[in-house]
């Protein structure tokens, strides 16, 4: 029987082969949106980053591109060692500071500090050099999973959006009309010049910051493609939430830098640019659906409200591509879908404990998602309580309506239930505050998620607001 070696051990062996001694400590880094696993390997007063990925073809692309970019003087991590069969490698440790970490992280757009804007501009100075200069003699034969961002690549992204966001997110669409618009969009975008290196995921989390200078990582998905896509990836990076006026300023700055490398038709470039903005938004929303709805990773769902804002801006500014009316209708439906409101989390706006209280329906067979990433909290079952939903006079009302409230408050069982559950939550909340915790989730469920659970959630929110200094987020899953 073959014993499977742990990735950390594989990387430790690679490190020892490279350095001549074992690492002092191997520390696993937080997971990202990919299947790769990263580790920080410490030695003396230094450290390196180790990556393990069983996808050999993807590793080969990263290794080849790293060597190529280094030869062109582009700031990427130095490749230190690889193993055979190249399922792991060691690279220079660029630290933990990313461009994303410097941003305000607010759902409402706010001005960026000047030093952050300067880093964006420096990144856009490097981008044409990667795309044009390095793109001329790069080995596209190692690209994974495809050499070019062509018709097939675009259709993969669009179907990713259809199956993992539209279907799992409950967005209605006509299959044939959507496919017709996909064909129209892909054909039109295929007219844009595409003989350049396309980074593919050129966004703020993949830009490391050292002494206020940008360094670039995670370009293993690069391939031959159009210039506009990477620009769209950076400026419409959902959670970065770059102010729209700044996006326009940075667009003009990029074009100024690009003109040093290649002549372009400005109007044609801009027209295709917003088409690539749209396809990038849809690709990203497919990722949110896959990671969030399918894999149950709630942090990805927090990006949906930002994507809604991006779609809204495209439509309001008349930058939405023409001749794809069904996709535009779907975009308008996404913008106006109130159920996505529950994924709004405005980071760094409040200090202290935030308690999120949900009401939900057990019929849906899915518990509310803990968007803090902490794995949930209390779940209370209200189905043993008297049910006003069985009475015709209350069927069109909810637990927020006064007649339903009056009905439930007359029932001692309801008062006892709320009293008991609120004491449990208050005791935990006090401990959370003492220990400096920032998030607690509480869920009340009933059969339809309309009466008893809503009433209990509202009642708990009033109690906590009165007795504790906490921020309350109240979300009724079935009342949107």
Query: Domain span at residue 390?
Result: 350-476
Distance (Å, whole) CA 393 – CA 480: 21
- Residue 88 sits in a domain whose CATH number is 3.30.200.20
Distance CA 155, CA 322 (A): 18
Final residue of a structural domain among 92, 108, 143: 92
User: Is residue 1 included in any domain, yes or no?
Assistant: no
Q: Are residues 289 and 325 in the same domain?
A: yes
- The parts of the chain modelled with pLDDT lower than 50 are 1, 348-350
In whole angstroms, give the CA distance from residue 155 to residue 190. 12
Q: Are 441 and 369 in contact (CB under 8 A)?
A: no
311 is written with which tokens? 């779609």
For residues 425 and 462, state if they share a domain: yes
Residues 105, 87, single domain; the answer is no
Find the CATH number of the domain harbouring 141: 3.90.1200.10
Both 64 and 141 in a single domain? no
Domain assignment present for 365? yes
Burial class (CB in 10 A: 0-12, 13-18, 19+), 232: buried
182 and 34 belong to one structural domain = no
Sole residue written with tokens 């793109």: 135
Please count the other Cβ atoms lying within 10 Å of the Cβ belonging to residue 110: 11
Residue 345, in any domain of the structure: no
Count Cβ atoms below 10 Å from residue 136 Cβ, excluding itself.
Answer: 11
* pLDDT at residue 1 in the model: 45
Structure tokens at 119: 């880093």
Q: Cα–Cα distance between 298 and 251 in angstroms, integer?
A: 32
* Residue where one domain finishes, among candidates 92, 120, 136: 92
Q: Which of 92, 127, 151 is the last residue of a domain?
A: 92
Same domain, 73 and 107: no
Token pair 């006892």 is at which residue?
416
Together in a domain, 76 and 117: no
Predicted pLDDT at 355: 92
Based on the fold, state whether residues 37 and 147 are members of the same structural domain: no
Indicate the number of domains in the chain: 3
User: Whole-angstrom distance between the N-terminal and C-terminal Cα of the chain?
Assistant: 54
334 and 186 assigned to the same domain: yes
Is 111 contained in some domain?
yes
Domain for residue 431, yes or no?
Answer: yes
Q: Is residue 178 part of a domain?
A: yes
| Residue 241 sits in the same domain as residue 106 | yes
Residue 165 to residue 308: CA distance in whole angstroms:
13
* 24 within 8 A of 39, measured Cβ to Cβ: no
Q: Assess if residue 2 is contained within a domain.
A: no
User: Taking phi first (over 0 means left), then psi (-120 to 50 degrees means alpha), and beta for anything else, what does residue 101 get?
Assistant: alpha
In a domain, 303, yes or no: yes
My answer on whether 162 and 50 are in the same domain is no
Same domain, 179 and 82: no
Neighbouring-strand partners of residue 98: 208
């Amino acid at each position: 029987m073959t014993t499977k070696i742990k990735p950390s051990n594989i990387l430790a062996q690679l490190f020892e082969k490279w350095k001549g001694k074992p690492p002092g400590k191997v520390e696993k880094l937080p997971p990202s949106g990919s299947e790769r696993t990263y580790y920080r390997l410490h030695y003396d007063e230094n450290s390196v980053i180790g990556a393990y990925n069983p996808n050999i073809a993807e590793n080969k692309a990263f290794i080849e591109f790293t060597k190529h970019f280094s030869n062109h003087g582009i700031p990427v991590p130095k490749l230190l060692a690889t193993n055979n069969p190249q399922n792991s490698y060691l690279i220079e440790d660029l630290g933990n500071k990313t461009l994303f970490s410097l941003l305000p992280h607010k759902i409402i757009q706010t001005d960026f500090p000047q030093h952050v804007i300067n880093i964006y501009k420096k990144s856009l100075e490097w981008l044409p050099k990667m795309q044009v200069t390095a793109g001329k003699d790069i080995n596209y034969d190692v690209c994974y999973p495809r050499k070019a961002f062509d018709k097939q690549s675009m259709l993969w992204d669009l179907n990713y959006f259809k199956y993992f966001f539209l279907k799992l997110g409950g967005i209605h669409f006509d299959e044939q009309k959507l496919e017709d618009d996909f064909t129209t969009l892909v054909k039109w975008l295929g007219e844009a010049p595409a003989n350049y290196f396309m980074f593919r995921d050129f966004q703020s989390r993949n830009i490391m910051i050292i002494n206020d200078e940008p360094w670039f990582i995670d370009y293993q998905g690069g391939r031959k493609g159009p210039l506009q896509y990477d620009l769209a990836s950076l400026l419409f990076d959902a959670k970065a939430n770059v102010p729209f006026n700044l996006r326009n300023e940075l667009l003009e700055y990029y074009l100024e830098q690009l003109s040093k490398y290649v002549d372009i038709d400005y109007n044609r470039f801009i027209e295709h640019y917003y088409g690539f903005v749209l396809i990038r938004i849809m690709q990203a929303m497919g990722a949110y659906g896959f990671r969030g709805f399918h894999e149950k990773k709630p942090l990805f769902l927090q990006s949906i409200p930002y994507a809604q804002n991006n779609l809204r801006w495209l439509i309001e500014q008349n930058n939405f591509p023409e001749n794809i009316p069904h996709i535009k209708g779907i975009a308008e439906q996404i913008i106006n879908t109130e159920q996505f409101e529950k994924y709004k989390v405005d980071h760094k706006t409040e200090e202290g404990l935030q308690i999120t209280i949900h009401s939900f329906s057990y019929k849906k067979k899915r518990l509310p998602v803990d968007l803090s990433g902490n794995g949930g909290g209390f779940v209370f079952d209200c189905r043993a309580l008297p049910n006003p939903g069985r009475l015709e006079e209350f069927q069109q009302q909810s637990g927020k309506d006064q007649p339903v409230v009056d009905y439930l408050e007359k029932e001692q069982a309801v008062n006892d239930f709320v009293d008991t559950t609120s004491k449990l939550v208050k005791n935990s909340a006090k401990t959370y505050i003492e220990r400096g915790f920032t998030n607690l989730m509480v869920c009340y469920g009933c059969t339809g998620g309309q009466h008893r659970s809503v009433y209990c959630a509202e009642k708990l929110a009033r109690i906590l607001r009165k007795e504790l200094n906490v921020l309350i987020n109240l979300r009724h899953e079935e009342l949107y």
